[in-house]
Chain A
Amino acid sequence: MTISLSDIKRVAKLARIEISETDAQQNLSRLSGIFGLIEQMQAVNTHGIKPMSHSQDMVQRLREDVVTETDQHALFQSIAPQVEDGYYLVPKVIE
């Protein structure tokens, strides 16, 4: 499978990363090499093998539905790029 320039631009858009034409070109050659390495995986027949997502066979732990955190609104917002009246500010979304 070969990766194309339009693939690079499409995934950059999906990943919300602005990419210039030059960067896309450069990434194309680097990523093509990396996908060449990744293609080695296709040599093995894995039919019937159960995918392993995690090394520990464990189930999701549940906890009591009680408040465990204290209100740290002000502390957390003190490191935000832009806040006002307790809200995070972003450019206007609805005209």
Chain B
Amino acid sequence: MLNASLRQLSRLLSDKKISSTELTAGFLSRIKSLNPDLNAFITLDEEKSLNQAKSADAMIAAGRSTPLTGIPIAQKDIFCAKGWLTTCGSRMLSNFISPYDATVVERFDQAGMVNLGKTNMDEFAMGSSNETSYYGPVKNPWDRLAVPGGSSGGSACAVAARLAPAATGSDTGGSIRQPAALCGISGIKPTYGLVSRYGMIAFASSLDQGGPMAKSAEDLALLLNAMVGFDEHDSTSLQREKEDYTKNLTQPVEGLRIGLPKEFFAEGMSSDVSRAVEAALAEYRKLGATFVEISLPNSKLAVPVYYVLAPAEASSNLSRFDGVRYGYRAAQYSNLEDLYARTRAEGFGEEVKRRILIGTYVLSHGYYDAYYLQAQKLRRLIAEDFAKAFEQCDLIMGPTTPTVAFNIGEKCGDPIQMYLSDIYTSAASLAGLPGMSIPVGFGDKNRPTGLHIIGNYFREAQMLNVAHRYQLATNWHELAPPDSGN
């Protein structure tokens, strides 16, 4: 059951071989035994989950089920869920019971999925290791000395450790793809604008995009079918015809032109990651794909550009946390200014404050042109590099991360080293392109590695097809970490 695909679970549920209540209770009891050490979940509410499971069982009994009805899903704690504590990994929201549902949560509820709980994450999604969470670091289930990646580290850990069959994530500069790679699971960040941002707590609004995390590309396709769709509550939600992301899954990939950016296969990638990625590419060659060398000359500036634009947007978005309408308020203050300043000093962690300071600085008088405007111009050059590359190839492939998971505590004192974990993922985010990571084996210390697949705008179905064909030929996505643990 733990290793079953969503399609298999769906069949067991519709054939009444198992009820959603049994399935949910099974995962909850597994979470109870493993979560105290892994720390993948911030909030669990057994009663709410089991009530949803009961409703799902009723939907199935009444013949009103969807392919996802009755299947549990873990929600990243960035998604507001009505009546649930929604912390975004921060002390600032440590008492925030959401009065409404994010559209993503609502859509999965309507499909009959069961909310298993809220997963741990870097505070306000700012981090690449899950260590900035106010609720403590998450451990990588493959090696508990290692980070799971971030910011969707709790979701990646939950899926990898088989605490949940699927989870939601959000990705601003790599926050779905990087933890998926480091935990050996599959995750996709769709084209910007496909998944509603309503109720997904804002970090950098021109980059933030929700997406699913699961064991396989096939599972992701099923989840994406429920997750994608126009939402009038999100001003950047795209109006497009509905697409079935499962329909092309098994198409052969013969003749597929895979672009390999020479900048991604240069210095920076560690040899163990390189070996795994090369082996995956060899598998694609066997499947009939061809390769073309491409160049993304401006991608080397993606990290600096990202660390101007994302903090700038964050400094504006996070101004809403003022200790007046909801969330944390400092206990001691002398006047209104002091209430704001102390609330924000105590409610935000170090990394979040650092990024607010960067953002405020780059937007402030006298620096706007040199930093913010320059970054926006480079963002266009980065996007144009991709546009040129896609004239020569159908998809782009490379490593998701430069190394396998690093140790907990290893990069805490060095923000720049931490930021460079997103070196391969942030360029696609800046361009708004879809990106995904699939597991392609193991590197040093037997820690997982991921293959990064970047598609052109709205080519999610093609990316999922290409990933699925690989997963039909290999079994990396089926491997689970040993349960034993501490």
Q: Mark B409-432, 1 if CB is under 8 A from A, else 0.
A: 000000110010000000000111
Cβ B333 vs Cβ A91 within 8 A: yes
Cβ B415 vs Cβ A52 within 8 A: no
Interface residues of A in 23-77 (CB under 8 A from B): 27, 30-31, 33-34, 37-42, 44, 46, 49-56, 58, 60-61, 63, 72, 75-76
Cβ A72 vs Cβ B99 within 8 A: yes
Interface contact tally, CB-CB below 8 A = 162
A41 to B192, CA, bound (A): 24
Interface membership of B373, Cβ < 8 A: yes
Question: What A residues does B29 contact at CB under 8 A?
Answer: none
Cβ B97 vs Cβ A88 within 8 A: no
Interface membership of B381, Cβ < 8 A: yes
Cβ B358 vs Cβ A34 within 8 A: yes
Cβ B329 vs Cβ A56 within 8 A: no
A76 to B305, CA, bound (A): 37
Cβ A15 vs Cβ B344 within 8 A: yes
Given contacts A7-B361, A27-B354, A41-B375, contact A79 B96 (CB under 8 A): yes
Question: What A residues does B479 contact at CB under 8 A?
Answer: none
A72 to B101, CA, bound (A): 14
Question: What A residues does B238 contact at CB under 8 A?
Answer: 56, 58
Cβ A90 vs Cβ B339 within 8 A: yes
Cβ A41 vs Cβ B308 within 8 A: yes
Given contacts A49-B380, A58-B236, A90-B336, contact A42 B357 (CB under 8 A): no
SS class of chain B's interface: helix, strand, loop or mixed?
A: helix
Question: What B residues does A42 contact at CB under 8 A?
Answer: 370, 374
Interface membership of A6, Cβ < 8 A: no
Given contacts A40-B304, A41-B304, A91-B333, contact A14 B376 (CB under 8 A): no
Cβ A81 vs Cβ B324 within 8 A: yes
Cβ B381 vs Cβ A46 within 8 A: yes
Cβ B416 vs Cβ A46 within 8 A: no
Contact of A82 among B95, B206, B329, B362 (CB under 8 A): B329
Q: How far, in Å, is A11 (CB) from chain B's closest CB? A: 4
Q: Which residue of B lies closest to A46 (CB)?
A: B377
Cβ A91 vs Cβ B335 within 8 A: yes
Interface residues of B in 340-360 (CB under 8 A from A): 340-342, 344-345, 348, 353-354, 356-358, 360
Cβ A30 vs Cβ B380 within 8 A: no
Q: Which residue of B lies closest to A52 (CB)?
A: B380
Contact of B337 among A1, A16, A61 (CB under 8 A): A16
A62 to B460, CA, bound (A): 28
A91 to B330, CA, bound (A): 12
Q: How far, in Å, is B7 (CB) from chain A's closest CB? A: 32
Interface membership of B303, Cβ < 8 A: yes
Question: What A residues does B328 contact at CB under 8 A?
Answer: 81
Interface residues of A in 1-29 (CB under 8 A from B): 1, 3, 7-8, 10-12, 14-19, 27
A8 to B416, CA, bound (A): 18
Q: Which residue of B lies closest to A89 (CB)?
A: B324
A14 to B315, CA, bound (A): 10
Cβ B379 vs Cβ A52 within 8 A: yes
Given contacts A55-B432, A60-B235, contact A80 B326 (CB under 8 A): yes
Question: What B residues does A61 contact at CB under 8 A?
Answer: 232, 235
Question: What B residues does A46 contact at CB under 8 A?
Answer: 374, 377-378, 381
A30 to B383, CA, bound (A): 29
Cβ B357 vs Cβ A27 within 8 A: yes
Cβ B361 vs Cβ A88 within 8 A: no
Question: What A residues does B315 contact at CB under 8 A?
Answer: 15
Q: Which residue of B lies closest to A93 (CB)?
A: B336
Interface membership of B173, Cβ < 8 A: no
Question: What A residues does B376 contact at CB under 8 A?
Answer: 51-53
Contact of A19 among B97, B206, B336, B345 (CB under 8 A): B345
Contact of A79 among B99, B335, B362 (CB under 8 A): B99
Given contacts A46-B378, A75-B99, contact A91 B325 (CB under 8 A): no
A36 to B345, CA, bound (A): 25
Q: Which residue of B lies closest to A24 (CB)?
A: B357
Question: What A residues does B193 contact at CB under 8 A?
Answer: 55-56, 58
Given contacts A52-B383, A53-B376, contact A8 B304 (CB under 8 A): no
Given contacts A17-B348, A37-B304, A46-B381, contact A88 B370 (CB under 8 A): no
Cβ B380 vs Cβ A33 within 8 A: no
Question: What A residues does B26 contact at CB under 8 A?
Answer: none
Cβ B341 vs Cβ A16 within 8 A: yes
Q: How far, in Å, is A50 (CB) from chain B's closest CB? A: 6
Cβ A44 vs Cβ B301 within 8 A: yes
Interface membership of B136, Cβ < 8 A: no
Given contacts A17-B344, A34-B416, A88-B324, contact A44 B236 (CB under 8 A): no
The 4 closest A-B pairs by CB, nearest first: A55-B432, A51-B376, A52-B380, A46-B377
- Of the A-B pairs whose beta carbons lie under 8 Å apart in the complex, a sample of 13, sorted by A's number, is A11-B364, A16-B322, A27-B354, A31-B354, A31-B361, A34-B415, A40-B301, A41-B378, A46-B374, A46-B378, A52-B377, A81-B328, A93-B335
Extra pairs beyond A14-B364, A31-B354, A53-B206 (4, CB < 8 Å): A7-B361, A17-B356, A18-B338, A34-B307
- The chain A residues found within 8 Å of chain B, CB to CB, are 1, 3, 7-8, 10-12, 14-19, 27, 30-31, 33-34, 37-42, 44, 46, 49-56, 58, 60-61, 63, 72, 75-76, 78-82, 88, 90-93
